[in-house]
């Protein structure tokens, strides 16, 4: 019997597109935060040092929030499924926090007498900072649950396709979010708000609610109370007991990760130390190079009467680099699955080798900053960096999802064979044995642990960047500050660790041979 279809039926393309639209909707929230939150916080008078601490919210939510969400969703026994309640709850929390953040100054203004702008900004700072953390932890809820949902409802042979569509949705909605943000929304839709941030938040919130509602209506899950392949420990219903046991489970799960998942996680740790600067410092790097081309080695020496105009031009130049990066990423995510699927017999073109190639491109591109001297060159550079990033948003999830689904297939095949031999239902001993074996390989906790290996290096990279800024930043306003270039280069050097580890990932053929061996031993 084909174990691929034993746990999940073959899904149509339309089904997978609808499923992965949740990931795309989530990307809209990220695009708003990246494009609008920093200027908004800086406009309140927050220093860059404090701003760096606030932006630790993202890595913290991934390191702490997503694993807890993964565990709680694994334990969820609602009849509508394990993941959809968290997708819906995360969506509502994201929308509420996004609207709260964009309207925080207005809300504070209701309670400040005299409409004193300085006082309003002062009191808005702590409320907006809290809003950033609430927003990032809300996004963590929907992000962890929607990725686990993909693993749960799509069969093993279609995990590559599903994760490819998830990557495409990230690219499509990323471009859509950046494009909407370039429009003068305050003039186009004045009835939605008096600032760009407010109008954009309302638009994105509306789109998110519509898309997530539609997806959750169409996509159905198994009932965890009745499905034999989902084991729920009904004794552990207290949320505090579950969270306390989570920390023990994470430690034990990390040490007992399937080898394939473990290698991918270790590689991700090194890769994301380099990815973090690419995501957060691109626009600044390109903008400073643009000003350097105009004869301004340092933003501090800009003429006061032209300062804001020149800074805006540099920002738009940096946004162009982000847009080119996003377009290349989308092209890669459209082409890469096609190449992998149509060259299955070619040992040099598969998921594993493409991941290796992507790390090589990233290392070469980041080290090439030694030779970058114009904003145009930098835009081309970040276009090339869209190649490894396109691989990064697809390949690791494919490798992990296939491994989790493969293990589930083996367990399902074992249950089927045992049922066929005994011609009777599983007894209590068999059911408990399956639950114990499969729990440590459940998609929620494994994907959450993978996210820890993605988020933790971002915190290290952020703190390390602060040290590098201090070491390489010039104090002479007439000298060009190349500290960002050094951050990119060191990130590329660290990524060599990811390159080495990615060569240790097993091919799909090797894993299939292991499956045959394990099933033959069981029989």
Question: What average pLDDT score do residues 46-60 get?
Answer: 71
CA distance 317 to 314: 5
- The CA-based angle 121-123-126, given to 5 degrees, is 105
pLDDT at 156 over 90: no
CA distance 469 to 472: 5
* pLDDT value at residue 250: 67
- Please say whether the beta carbons of 351 and 338 come within 8 A: no
CA distance 342 to 346: 9
- Please say whether the beta carbons of 90 and 137 come within 8 A: no
Cα dihedral angle (369, 453, 496, 320), rounded to 10 degrees?
-20
- Please say whether the beta carbons of 385 and 325 come within 8 A: yes
* pLDDT value at residue 497: 96
* pLDDT value at residue 3: 46
Under DSSP, the state recorded for 111 is T
Sign of CA dihedral 456, 462, 466, 471: positive
Which of 34-48, 93-107, 230-244, 480-494 is least confident? Answer: 230-244
- Please say whether the beta carbons of 62 and 452 come within 8 A: yes
Nearest to 393 by CA among 321, 333, 312, 334: 333
CA distance 317 to 101: 27
pLDDT at 461 over 50: yes
* pLDDT value at residue 502: 94
- The CA-based angle 455-325-355, given to 5 degrees, is 60
Phi, psi at 270, each rounded to 5°: -70, -40
- Please say whether the beta carbons of 229 and 412 come within 8 A: yes
The per-residue pLDDT for range 237-274, each reduced to its tens digit, is 566 676 676 667 667 777 778 888 889 999 999 999 99
- Please say whether the beta carbons of 351 and 395 come within 8 A: yes
- Please say whether the beta carbons of 145 and 86 come within 8 A: yes
Question: What average pLDDT score do residues 45-51 get?
Answer: 65
CA distance 117 to 486: 39
* pLDDT value at residue 366: 95
The per-residue pLDDT for range 382-410, each reduced to its tens digit, is 999 999 999 998 899 888 888 877 777 66
- CB neighbour list of residue 415: distance below 8 Å, 6 or more residues apart: 228, 229, 426, 430, 434
For 419-499, strand residue ranges (E) read none
CA distance 294 to 374: 10
Using pLDDT thresholds of 50, 70 and 90, give the confidence band for residue 20: very high
**Continuous H helices in 219-280:** 239-255, 259-280
Using pLDDT thresholds of 50, 70 and 90, give the confidence band for residue 431: very low
Using pLDDT thresholds of 50, 70 and 90, give the confidence band for residue 515: low
Q: Which residue has the higher pLDDT, 519 or 163?
A: 163
Q: Which residue has the higher pLDDT, 72 or 365?
A: 365
Burial class (CB in 10 A: 0-12, 13-18, 19+), 438: middle
504 three-state secondary structure: coil
Question: What average pLDDT score do residues 110-114 get?
Answer: 80
* pLDDT value at residue 357: 95
Question: What average pLDDT score do residues 187-210 get?
Answer: 88
Burial class (CB in 10 A: 0-12, 13-18, 19+), 251: exposed
Question: What average pLDDT score do residues 281-306 get?
Answer: 79
Burial class (CB in 10 A: 0-12, 13-18, 19+), 57: buried
Q: Which residue has the higher pLDDT, 14 or 437?
A: 14
CA distance 103 to 16: 35
DSSP of 326-355, one letter per residue?
A: HHHHHHHHHHHHHHHHHTTT-TTSSHHHHH
pLDDT at 131 over 80: yes
Nearest to 163 by CA among 509, 505, 401, 506: 401
Question: What average pLDDT score do residues 177-181 get?
Answer: 79
What is the number of H-type helices and E-type strands within the chain?
24, 0
Sign of CA dihedral 84, 87, 91, 93: positive
* pLDDT value at residue 212: 93
Using pLDDT thresholds of 50, 70 and 90, give the confidence band for residue 479: confident
CA distance 181 to 193: 14
Which CATH architecture fits 8-223?
Up-down Bundle (1.20)
Residue-wise over 12-27: b if at least 16 C-beta within 10 A, else e? eeebbebbbbbbbbbb
């Amino acid at each position: 019997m084909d174990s691929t279809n034993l746990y999940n039926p073959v899904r149509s393309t339309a089904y997978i597109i609808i499923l992965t639209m949740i990931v795309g909707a989530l990307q809209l929230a990220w695009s708003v935060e990246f494009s609008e939150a920093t200027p908004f916080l800086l406009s309140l008078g927050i220093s860059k040092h404090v701003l760096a601490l606030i932006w630790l919210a993202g890595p913290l939510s991934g390191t702490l929030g997503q694993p807890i969400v993964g565990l709680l969703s694994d334990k969820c026994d609602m009849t509508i499924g394990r993941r959809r309640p968290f997708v819906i709850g995360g969506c509502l929390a994201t929308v509420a926090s996004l609207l709260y953040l964009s309207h925080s100054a207005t809300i504070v203004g209701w309670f400040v007498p005299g409409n004193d702008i300085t006082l309003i900004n002062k009191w808005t700072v702590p409320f907006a900072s809290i809003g950033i953390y609430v927003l990032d932890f809300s996004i963590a809820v929907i992000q962890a649950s929607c990725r686990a949902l993909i693993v749960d409802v799509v069969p093993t042979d279609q995990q590559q396709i599903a994760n490819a569509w998830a990557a495409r949705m990230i690219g499509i909605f990323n471009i859509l979010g950046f494009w909407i943000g370039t429009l003068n929304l305050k003039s186009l839709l004045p009835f939605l708000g008096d600032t760009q941030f407010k109008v954009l938040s309302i638009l994105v919130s509306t789109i998110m609610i519509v898309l997530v509602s539609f997806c959750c209506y169409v996509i159905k899950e198994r009932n965890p109370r009745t499905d034999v392949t989902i084991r729920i420990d009904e004794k552990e219903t207290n949320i505090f007991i579950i969270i306390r046991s989570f920390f023990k489970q994470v430690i034990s799960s990390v040490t007992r990760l399937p080898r394939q998942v473990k290698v991918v996680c270790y590689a991700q740790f090194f890769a994301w130390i380099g990815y973090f600067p690419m995501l957060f410092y691109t626009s600044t790097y390109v903008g400073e190079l643009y000003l350097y081309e105009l004869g301004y080695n340092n933003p501090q020496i800009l003429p006061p009467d032209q300062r804001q105009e020149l800074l805006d031009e540099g920002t738009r130049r940096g946004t162009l680099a982000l847009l080119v990066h996003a377009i290349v990423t989308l092209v890669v995510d459209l082409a890469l699955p096609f190449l992998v699927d149509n060259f299955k017999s070619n040992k040099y073109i598969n998921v594993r080798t493409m991941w290796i190639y992507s790390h090589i491109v990233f290392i070469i591109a980041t080290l090439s900053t030694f030779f970058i001297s114009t904003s145009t060159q930098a835009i081309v550079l970040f276009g090339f960096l869209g190649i490894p990033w396109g691989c990064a948003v697809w390949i690791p999830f494919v490798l992990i999802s296939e491994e989790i689904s493969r293990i589930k297939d083996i367990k399902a095949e074992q249950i089927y064979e045992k049922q066929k031999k005994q011609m009777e239902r599983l007894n209590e001993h068999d059911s408990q044995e399956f639950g114990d074996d499969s729990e440590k390989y459940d998609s929620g906790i494994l994907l959450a642990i993978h996210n820890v290996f993605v988020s933790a290096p971002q915190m290290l990279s952020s703190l390390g960047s602060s040290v590098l800024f201090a070491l390489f930043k010039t104090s002479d306003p007439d000298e060009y500050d190349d500290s960002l270039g050094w951050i990119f280069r060191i990130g590329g050097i660290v990524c060599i660790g990811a390159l080495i580890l990615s060569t240790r990932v097993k091919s799909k053929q090797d894993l299939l041979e292991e499956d045959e061996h394990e099933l033959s031993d069981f029989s």
